Structure formats: C-alpha cells, structure tokens
Amino acid sequence: MAYTDIDKPSDYFNTVLYTGNASSPRTISGVGFSPDLVWNKCRAGGDNRLVDQVRGANKEVSSNRTLAEFSNNTDGNLTAFTSDGFTITAGSTNINNWNKNSDGYVSWNWKAGTSFTNDASSTGIGSIDSAGSVSTDAGFSIISWTGTGANATIAHGLGVAPKMIITKSRGTTNNWGIYHQSLGNTNAVFLNLTNASDAASTYWNNTSPTSSVFSVGSAAGTNPSATMIAYCFAEKQGYSKFGGYVGNGNANGTFVYTGFKPAWVMIKATDQTGEGWFMFDNKRDVDNAVDKHLTANLSNAEGSGSHGMDFVSNGIKIRNAGDGTNTNAKNYIYMAFAENPFVTSTGVPATAR
C-alpha cells in the first residue's frame, strides 16, 4: 500500500515569511519552485492579495473583497514570477502594500505548472472552453473561462474529481464562491463572507464534480457573464485533505485526521453566521500550539490565542473552545496541506513537532 502520493510536499506548497524594506524592485526567494498561485498577506493588516500565472503578474484579486481583478501599482504589486519565488515593488506606505518598511508578510505558494487548454466543442468535454495550469501530481489546477450566466460544465484538467473549488469573477464585483465536498453540490460558502453555507441550485447546478468537469449554475459568484478564475483542488494522500468535523466546545478539542503533519490549514464554520475563514501555518508558529491566525475574509492584522491547535504527525488536534474552530455540535470545513506525510513512500514516519 502506498503511504503517500508525495514524499516532499514543499515541492508543491510552501510558506515564505519576509519583512518589508520598501525597496523596489525586490525579489522574494525561498519558495523552492516557481509559484503558480501566490497568496500574500501583511501580518500587520491589509488585504489578502492573490496573483496567479494564468491571469498574469500584476493582476490581483482579494479574498476579503468583492472587487473585480485589478492592477495595484499605487500600493505595489507582484511584477514577475521567478524560479524560486517572485518579484515585487514597494508602492506607497499604506496598509495594502506588498513591501512596507518593517512590516512582516506571509506568502503562501502553490505549484501547478503544466499548461492546459480545452476546446469544449472539439473534445466534447464540458460546455465552455477553459484554459489554465494544472498539476495532476499535486491535485491542483487554475482554470480560466468566460461565464455565461447559465448552467454549464467546465473542464478542470485534474483527471480526478476535485474536492474543493474556489471561484471568483475577474470582470465583475461579486462574492467568491466555494464548493466543498463536505457540503455537497447544493451548497456554497463564500470566501469573503462570514455567512453560513447557503443552498441553491444556481451555484453548482446540484451536480458534483467529475473526473473531467465541474458544474456551475447562474449564480453571480460561480458563473456570471464575465471572465472567471477557479482554483480546483483534488485530494492527494499524504499531501492534501479537504474535509469536515464537528466541534465539541472543549479546550481538549476534536482531533482531525489528515494523514500528514500539516503545513497550512484553513477552517470555516458552516452552520453558524459570523465566523470567518481562519488560516494557520507552520512558519508563523514553528511549535505547538499553533494559534497565530490570519483571516481570508478580513484585512485585519494577525491574531493569536483564541483559536489554537496542535499540528501533529497525522493531523490536527484542536486546543481551544473558540467559536471560530470549535463550537460544540457545530460543523466546520477545512482545507489542509502537508509539511510531511505521516509515513513516506519508503516507510519513514513523520516526526513530532
């Protein structure tokens, strides 16, 4: 039996920390690969800023805002992707800078890397043409298409059904739509909101993703008449997991099995309104408990102390009774990526923190 699909997760996902110095241009290195998706956040406060190689450098979307894609030269921008990171400019001194002097930053980076195109009329796969970048090894694709405002299917290139899909309109001001396997194909949650999950056929046309396509309806967050981008994730044993759990309201909280020692985790309550998307990683917290969190739906500064957990060799042990991650009898979804598989393909176990 294979223990893991990926022995070295940092070949496909890696977190890099840096301190702003207001120099321009500046190259951020240490990613370990040329990132296809960069999610950047100033730890002192400021927008979550996402740039990918499919849309191109200096084309941002912000997970805490509904804005259409924009180029943010005034506040600095990502100008190029390199073989080991990316190049940025300093911009102004306001809170939404990529390189404000003395501020700490975190950059979460994913690799896809193989060019993908699908002519739906020629291949018979999907009803809308799509293009992007795919890694079938890592189970990650970045897919662009032009929405129709009606039910449609779109090729994702993964070869297996994605467990989580994040969508954003590039051309219009709309919410971020999220499909998650734990919620099913009638429900959506929104990356920029604290809302509980919402049920409607207009999100995913009540149809689960297949090994070749995902389905969308007419909702503004998933398929408006505008250019769109989707980040599609399939599970890979020992590397990524997209699941759910039920809170117990106790500081001796729920244990969530992932099959690996986590490097990055995002958690969202799905049946209570008012709780955000909490993000944790192994670089801002190098030891347990892991409690330094940033929030995908807010521009807030980094917080700590109320949502802590342990990253253990095979999963996540919740260590708090906070509403954002562990309300009693409430449901949560998560996405997680590995630092190390629980056991490598050669039988080497992960070590404790």
346 vs 89, residue with greater confidence: 89
**Do strands 255-257 and 315-318 pair parallel, antiparallel, or not at all (unpaired)?**
antiparallel
Summary mean pLDDT of the chain: 94
* Mean pLDDT to the nearest integer, 234-263: 96
Q: What is the pLDDT of residue 73?
A: 67
In 3D space, the residue among 32, 226, 41 whose CA is nearest the CA of residue 145 turns out to be 226
Q: What is the pLDDT of residue 266?
A: 98
Q: What is the DSSP string of 202-261?
A: HHHTT----SSEEEE-S-TTT--SSEEEEEEE--BTTTEEEEEEE--SSSS--EEE-SEE
* Mean pLDDT to the nearest integer, 124-152: 98
Q: What is the pLDDT of residue 267?
A: 98
Q: Which of 3-7, 151-155, 259-263, 265-269 has the lowest mean pLDDT?
A: 3-7
- The b-or-e profile of 206-231 (16+ CB within 10 A means b, else e) is bbebeebbbbbbbbbbbbbebbbbbb
User: ω before 25 within 30° of 0 (cis)?
Assistant: yes
For the stretch 265-293, pLDDT in tens is 999 999 999 999 999 999 999 999 999 99
Give phi and psi for 162, each to the nearest 5. Answer: -65, 145
The pTM (predicted TM-score) of the whole model is 0.96
For the stretch 103-136, pLDDT in tens is 999 999 999 999 999 999 999 999 999 999 999 9
Tell me how many helices (H) and strands (E) the chain has: 3, 25
Q: What is the pLDDT of residue 352?
A: 65
* Mean pLDDT to the nearest integer, 27-41: 98
* Mean pLDDT to the nearest integer, 152-173: 98
Residue 263 parent element (H or E): strand 260-269
What share of the chain in percent tops pLDDT 90?
A: 86
Q: Inform me whether the pLDDT recorded for 1 exceeds 50.
A: no
Q: Residue 290's beta-bridge partner residues?
A: 309
E-strand stretches of 22-61 = 26-28, 37-42, 49-52
For the stretch 62-76, pLDDT in tens is 999 999 999 876 777
Q: What is the pLDDT of residue 243?
A: 98
